[in-house]
Amino acid sequence: MASEWGGVVPSEPLASSDSYNMGSIAQNKLPVIDFSEVAEKPGSPEWNKVKDQVKEALVEYGCFEATFNDVPMDSRKSLLGSIEELFELPLETKMRNFSKKPYHGYVGQYPMVPLYESMGIDDADIYDKVDNLSKTFWPEGHPGFSKTIQSFAERLSALDQIIRRMILESLGLEKYLEEHMNSTNYLLRVMKYKGPKTSDTKLGLTSHTDKNIVTILYQNEVEGLEVKTKDGDWIPFKPTPESFVVMIGDSLLAWTNGRLHSPHHRVMMSGNDARYSAGLFSVPKAGYFIKAPDEMVDDNHPLLFKPFDHVEFLGFYYTEAGQRSENALKAYCGI
């Protein structure tokens, strides 16, 4: 999811959805962090307090729930309406969202995850890019859709940049800030999970880690997302209109040489209502090699991964070997 991006699209039969109910459901919740007072205050006591909370949450859980008032509520409502409108289009229209990059175009119609479909919008914070894509769905143009997507992505990217700056500061890596920020662009992945029309729990998306840098997820109020703790328990996320979910991906885990945790997560669905969500992903650019800074490597923290290109890593992940691997990143470039 992705979050929900980098989820497994099965190439072979998987166990029944009942197998995904194994493992206890944790009673605790994800940490909640309020970013409403820090946007313009780097270095302030408020900033440093939140920075410490971010590091603690990402070390222990790899994710947290965030509140961030700089994305207005009407923008959030418009986004969910636009996602619903997009998925109501005919299948042949949705399939025009094609990309050579794995998980950047339309994904759906997989028998093993029949409730799930999604679409990717590259450079979603740039209006012209979004508008060009929207014309593949609506040849006459749909500026309202384009503006809704671009505005939401642009506003939410500010939270991504705050979080990444806090991560670098907390690890003493401020000198890499400009390079780090310039090494990524934004993908907005919009997703729909149909309600299974039963009270039984059905698989929406298989357990996976994201492969990018940071994921920020917003969704409607239909439950389904679960995050796995280090102890193997599952924490169900209970969404509200105010909340975002922030989690890190394998690329940031590798860049920090394992200092942070990249959490497994899945989607489990029940009931009649569809779950709509949008994940803003900061994604390493093709050609940029992810390499842990020297400061992250010492006798107590030996280097875990060889330098790698994110796009090439994705190519491996979607091979049969990558899909079968328990830890695709380790299989691809682990030391």
The predicted pLDDT at position 26 comes to 60
User: What is the pLDDT, as a whole number, of residue 19?
Assistant: 37
How are the residues of the chain apportioned to helix, strand and coil, as percentages rounded to the nearest 5?
A: 35, 25, 40
Residue 255 φ/ψ, nearest 5 degrees: -65, -35
Total-model pTM: 0.92
> How far apart, in Å, are the Cα atoms of 104 and each of 79, 100, 101, 172, 233?
19, 8, 6, 33, 30
**Amino acid 24: pLDDT:** 64
Give CA 207 to chain center in angstroms.
Answer: 13
Domains annotated for the chain, with CATH where assigned, are 21-297 (2.60.120.330)
Strands (E) across the chain are located at 32-34, 63-67, 116-122, 184-193, 198-208, 214-219, 225-228, 234-236, 243-248, 265-271, 275-284, 289-290, 308-309
Nearest-angstrom CA–CA distance, 254 and 97: 30
User: Which residue type occupies 90?
Assistant: P
Q: What is the DSSP string of 262-321?
A: ---EEEEEEESPPEEEEEEEEEEPTTPEE---GGG-BTTB---B--EEHHHHHHHHTSHH
In a 10 Å sphere around its CB, with 0-12 CB exposed, 13-18 middle and 19+ buried, how is residue 114 labelled?
middle
DSSP 326: S
The pLDDT of residue 49 is: 96
pLDDT the model gives residue 16: 33
CB-based contacts of 236, cutoff 8 Å, min separation 6: 25, 223, 225, 226
Q: Which of 1, 28, 16, 4 is nearest to 233 (CA)?
A: 28
Cβ atoms 301, 259 nearer than 8 A:
yes
Strand 243-248 with 63-67, pairing: antiparallel
Looking at residue 41, its pLDDT comes to: 86
Q: Which among 85, 17, 144 is positioned nearest to 276, based on CA atoms?
A: 85
Give me the tens of pLDDT residue by residue for the chain, a chain 335 residues long: 333 444 444 433 333 333 344 456 666 799 999 998 887 789 899 999 999 999 999 999 999 999 999 999 999 999 999 999 999 999 999 999 988 776 678 999 888 899 999 999 999 999 999 999 999 999 999 999 999 999 999 999 999 999 999 999 999 999 999 999 999 999 999 999 999 999 999 999 999 999 999 999 999 999 999 999 999 999 999 999 999 999 999 999 999 999 999 999 999 999 999 999 999 999 999 899 999 999 999 999 999 999 999 989 988 998 889 988 889 999 999 99
CA 195: distance to chain centroid? 21
Phi/psi at 226 (5° precision): -130, 140
Work out the angle between the directed axes of helices 73-87 and 143-170 (0-180°, nearest 10).
120
Q: What is the CA radius of gyration of the chain?
A: 19
Buried b (16+ CB within 10 A) or exposed e, 59-79: eebbbbbbebeebeeebbebb
State the angle between helix axes of 143-170 and 45-60 in degrees (0 to 180), rounded to the nearest 10: 90
